[in-house]
Structure 1
Amino acid sequence: MRQTLRRSCAACAKSKHSCDLRTPRCSRCIKRKVLCAYANEPLTAAPAASGSAPGGSATPSPGPPLDGSSALNNYRFGSLDPFDSYPQTRLPRQQVQRLIHSFLHKIAFEYYPLDLNATSNPFLVSWWPLALGDPALFHVSLQTACLDEELLAQKGFQSSEILMADSVALLRRKVQDDSMAIQDGTMNSVITLAAIEFGKGNIQVSEMHVDGVKRLVNLRGGINSVRQTSPLTARMVSWYVEYGPRRVSMIVTGLPQFETQNDVGIGDGVPTPSEWQIDPTVLDSNLSHLVDVEIDKEVENVLIRLRSIFRRAQQVSLQPTRLHDLSCFVIHRLMLSAPEAAEPRSASSESIRLATILYIFIIQGPTYYSHAVIFNTIVSRFMESLGELVPYAHSSNSLFVWLLTVGMVASQGTQHYPWLAGLARDAVALTHVKSWNGVLALLKVVLWLERPQSEHIFRPHWEVILSVENMEHCEIGRASHLPQPL
């Protein structure tokens, strides 16, 4: 017979704190470096083997796959918390338990694929403990899992509408109190609601939430001030506010919502990464191959510093969070360097600026929320600039090959791709490149981050082009040996 119905660990129960029920140790015990002992099997433990002997202990599983299907199939609906040690909702208890499980095992990793470790993923070790003590954030967190289920089921948004109504009501109470309005949980809730509303097609409501979180950021003293105490919150806000659904209008005006700090880290804007502040001349950052190319000073500065950072990364690799911070900073900086509508525009500089933004998006990948809208808008702008540059492409073959490579990956599946592939075949003929290694050598001359997945992203496009090119050369070679007509 159980000695207690309590499910939280002994340390959390003694201090009367919410326990996130992680195994083998909850995040609070990990942070405090204390023993984590559960009186009963916690929510995140694996079910016991069906054929185990009476009294045998269950063995924790290494965790379900990220698609969440196995997690939900193996979930035991009888494993409920009798004291409901999480904020109450209007949904049935079993549904809440299922949504919690989905958030912990699927949503957390989809929102933050930079860290697939359950003991360090910030949505598990930082966000979730906060949500257990914040009813508004808890409701919003459940909404992410609920919306995921409802989108798959295609039967409407009944449950998520209930959660949405209660989330908004709870948030209204919080924002009426200035001290509560600027809490991390409040900001996390508002920016996530913006993403949820966009996912449901409610663009105007999403924009309203974005405006709200911008005001909260200002109350906190700017995005850099938020970053000092809440890195996850700052990253989410800066990523979504700039690259979320409403950023089509930002692209038109060329005005991001947040400034960036300068190169040495001074200012209240998006923080300058430490890697950025290292003198880029320490390593070879020679751009002599672009000497005949007209390029804006700010774009050139970004290109030089990125080349230097990527070269250093060959010795000490960039950790995912460092790359994420660098990506956010670079995209902001390049957005800010967009030429004014009335200013004369250099096709080469604009092509490099837009291609660099696309390249950073590609190597970073989607994080928190989809950046498809702004990405596709930039692709269209890039195609316009590249079209103006094509007549002069021969002046810098390595640059042109790099631009085409980024363009092909970015435009895959669009109407632009065949045109770019045709230009790539012409470029191969000019450069006499016969293999992917030859193409890669040209890419490294301009900008290239050595990562395991880089070749998997870019190489297939060139393999197709090179195979066709080599086949044509073979056909020409065979034809040259045929008897010539008299």
Structure 2
Amino acid sequence: MSSKSSHTESGGPAVEGDAAAQLPGQQRIGPAPSLRPKPVALRPAPATGSQESEKEIRKRLMQGIPKARRWVIRNRIELTLPPEFSQPPSTNEKALATTHAPEIGGFDGVPRESSGGGFECAPSSEHAVGFEAAEAGSMTVALPSPLTILGAGRVDPFGNYPIRMSYDEKRILDQVNTNTWPIFKTFKNSWLPTAMQDPATFHQFLANVSLNLYHIQGQTRSRTVSAQHYAIALRTVNIALSDPARNTADGIIASIVTFVCYCVTQNDLPGYDVHIEGLEKIIRLRGGLQTLDHSPTLRCMVFGVDLSGACRRDSKPTFPPPDRLIKVVQSIFRGNLKLTPNHVPTRSPRPWANAISQDCLLTNAFDDLLKAINYTRIKAARGEDWLEVRFVVFWIDPIVHNLLGQGPETQPTDGLSVVLETTRVGLILFLFKLRRVGGQLGVSTTFFIAKLRRLASTMAWKILWDTSERLLLWVLFVGMLESQGTEDEDWFAETTAMAAHWMGMKSWDATLAGVKEFPWIDGLFEDECERSEEKFKGIMDSLEQDVLSPWPEISVFGHR
């Protein structure tokens, strides 16, 4: 007999009752022996149990399996739904979701009144700058709908935010991504990529967005959230400024730039002075503006916020334009069209030439503006979008930079000085319109509208009609359109209509045709023209009926 027949596979003797022991030639009965544990058939449990009970069941099932033989799926990602999702929603929850679905696009961060008389608000993280559920008292707190206005696109799976994002912060970014106002396009394309690189800059970015939402929508909550983010950003920057290794870094400069923008939007000129002085000092310590050449976006942001602050009071900006970048951008455009650097679209004769021929600053500004208008026409003819902040930075803001702070220190009284200063102010107002629709931040015409009214009220106008009347009409017309919504709106409408009537333009169409002989972009003032046309026609009809003499009309300018 072979030894293999009397021993088991492990080498031990065969004993009675051993299933592995068998006689020669005897047929094996039953399955082959194995030390592997029998597989456990796992069936999906019903969804009615709690998470704790499911964990206990798994634990008991796995106790009989050696750890070395347990199935392990490495790098597995497991998604777990909250218990609420396993239960069908109640009727009230369905109604609540249906009622508030259209409103999810608006930025609030505040509780909304529900159909049941209560309120709903969004949960906040521990780092949230938002409305806490506990503050609502007896409010009904509902989970936000999984379907947001951006769907899965609300979260960038390949990028990390520099702060922990709460519900309020996500709603602010929703506005950045979806709001149709031009400034939000600038926030999204130019400011957000820079803000993502530094926590303080990101907090102040959120503060600036919230502040602009307050000015547009008038929601008090937006202003409160803005102030909270501003305080966090300011505290963070102050800590970084005490560190010699970080106090001149790009992140610090970007943060202070956002502070400057905040003060400009708030019209806080003392705060603007403090931040712009600190920004100038930091840039000087790191070696000058040329140290920002590696980041064209940051360099243009410094230029833009400085210019916006100077525009609030007609002062000279602190920083020069990024001339090298401007020349590169404009030369590329001219190179594609094979234009010379001094190319100006043909417009002869220039109707403003006689009135301002002695002022090189203004003649150069008009020529540069014509180049910019030519750029818009070529882009429009190609079906390309030109209305963006890039156009403003490289074509419009350099002209504004040259015009700011160039007026007389006192109110001009002689004829030529009045014409030159009025023309400068009119040019600035026209350029401000382009800055605003192009998405530049912190644009306000309040200061220059008041200044233009003071200039238009001087008696020196009546001796200038022969040589500069059409130029001054263009300035008044722009002032009329830009003064809408202010207390000066009616004054500008009446003054512009009276000036046009004196020059023989007895209708709206004739006046608009005369204005378009000067720099003009079709469609730029379309909405303002529609709102002003009816009022202008009414004033013109009254003038025709009264048949006023010209000199009393002019003298009215000094008594209104």
The TM-score normalised by the length of structure 2 is 0.57
Q: Is the alpha carbon distance of 1:238 and 1:40 closer, same or farther for their aligned partners in structure 2, counting shifts above 3 Å? A: farther
AA partner of residue 319 (structure 2): F
| 2:107 partner amino acid | G
Which residue in 2 is equivalent to 1:294? Answer: 356
Superposed CA offset, 1:57-107 (max 9, x none): xxxxxx989753599979x97788xxx8xxx73757979522212321225
Q: Does the 8 Å CA contact 1:331/1:360 hold for their aligned counterparts? A: yes
Q: Aligned letter for 1:255?
A: K
Q: For residues 417 and 166 of structure 2, what CA distance do their matches in structure 1 show?
A: 57
Match of 1:188 in 2: 254
**Paired position in structure 2 for 1:45:** none
2:420 equivalent in structure 1: 349
Task: Quote how far apart the aligned CAs of 1:365 are.
Answer: 1.5
Name 1:333's counterpart in structure 2. 402
Evaluate the alpha carbon distance shift between residue 189 and residue 271 of structure 1 in structure 2; reply closer, same or farther with a 3 A threshold.
farther
The reply to whether residue 323 of structure 1 matches residue 384 of structure 2 is: no
2:175 to 79, 95, 106: 106
Task: Give the Å deviation of 1:236.
Answer: 3.6
1:398 equivalent in structure 2: 470
* Per-residue deviation, residues 351-393 of structure 1 (Å, max 9, x unmatched): 1111100111123227464333xx3222233333333334312
Does 2:238 align with 1:172? yes
The CA deviation at 1:273 is: 4.9
Among 303, 316, 335, which residue is 1:255 paired with? 316
* Structure whose CA Rg is larger: 2
Residues 402 and 446, structure 1, Cα contact 8 Å, conserved in 2: yes
How far apart, in 2, do the equivalents of 1:66 and 1:432 lie? 51
CA displacement, residues 279-318 of structure 1 (integer Å, 9 cap, x when unaligned): 4545214354334313411110110221233134223233
Instruction: Give the conservation status (yes or no) of the 8 Å contact 2:109–2:122.
Output: no
CA contact (8 A) 1:358 1:410 kept: yes
Q: Secondary structure at the match of 1:289?
A: coil
Q: How does 1:44-59 map to 2 (within 5 A)?
A: none
CA RMSD, aligned part only?
4.9
CA contact (8 A) 1:140 1:192 kept: yes
Q: CA deviation at 1:115?
A: 7.1
Change (3 A) 1:364 1:139: closer
Q: What is the percentage of aligned positions where both structures have the same residue?
A: 18
Is 2:446 aligned against 1:384?
no
Give the match's secondary structure for 1:355. Answer: helix
* Structure 1: runs of 5 or more not aligned: 2-37, 42-49, 52-62, 477-486
Amino acid at match of 1:139: H
Cα separation, partners in 2 of 1:307 and 1:157, compared to 1, 3 Å: closer
Indicate conservation of the 8 Å contact 1:285/1:304, yes or no: no
Which position in structure 2 is the counterpart of 1:34? none
- C-alpha separation in 2, matches of 1:203 and 1:178: 29
- Structure 1 equivalent of residue 481 of structure 2: 409
1:362 is matched with 433
Find the aligned partners of 1:271 and 1:64 in 2 and give their Cα distance. Answer: 45
AA aligned to 1:114 is: P
Q: Give runs of aligned pairs for residues 19-418 of structure 1, distance below 5 A.
A: 67-68=106-107, 89=127, 91=129, 97-106=166-175, 113-114=181-182, 121=185, 123-124=187-188, 127-128=191-192, 131-144=195-208, 154=220, 163-177=229-243, 180-196=246-262, 204-219=270-285, 226=292, 229-231=295-297, 233-244=298-309, 251=314, 254-260=315-321, 265=323, 273-274=330-331, 279-295=341-357, 296-317=359-380, 318-325=386-393, 326-335=395-404, 337-339=406-408, 346-365=417-436, 367=439, 369-372=441-444, 375-386=445-456, 387=458, 388-414=460-486, 416-418=488-490
Consecutive unaligned residues of structure 2, counting only runs of 5 or more, are: 1-43, 45-76, 81-88, 91-101, 115-119, 134-164, 381-385, 548-560
What is the rounded CA distance, in whole Å, between the counterparts of 1:306 and 1:156 in structure 2? Answer: 37
- Deviations for 1:173-209, whole angstroms, at most 9, x for unmatched residues? 3234566344443223223234445667865444322
Q: Does the aligned pair in 1 maintain the 2:389–2:440 contact within 8 Å?
A: no
- 1: CA distance, partners of 2:225 / 2:411: 50
Measured against aligned partners, the alpha-carbon deviations of 1:412-442 in whole angstroms (never above 9, x if no partner) come to: 3555444433332233324433544433322
- Cα distance in structure 1, aligned partners of 2:290 and 2:327: 6
- Shift in alpha-carbon separation, 1:376–1:223, aligned structure 2, 3 A: farther
Q: How many residues align?
A: 403
Summarize deviations over 1:205-250 as a string: whole Å, max 9, x none: 443222222333445665576466142x344433332323x765x5
What do the CA deviations read for 1:142-166 (whole angstroms, capped 9, x no partner)?
A: 4346667899665898766654444
Contact 2:473–2:499 (CA<8 Å) still a contact in 1? Answer: yes
The one-letter code matched in structure 1 to 2:366 is: L
Does the CA contact (< 8 Å) of 2:237 and 2:252 recur in 1?
yes
How big is the shift at 1:406? 1.2
Which residue identity lines up with residue 127 of structure 2 in the other structure?
T
Question: Which residue of 1 is the match for residue 495 of structure 2?
Answer: 423
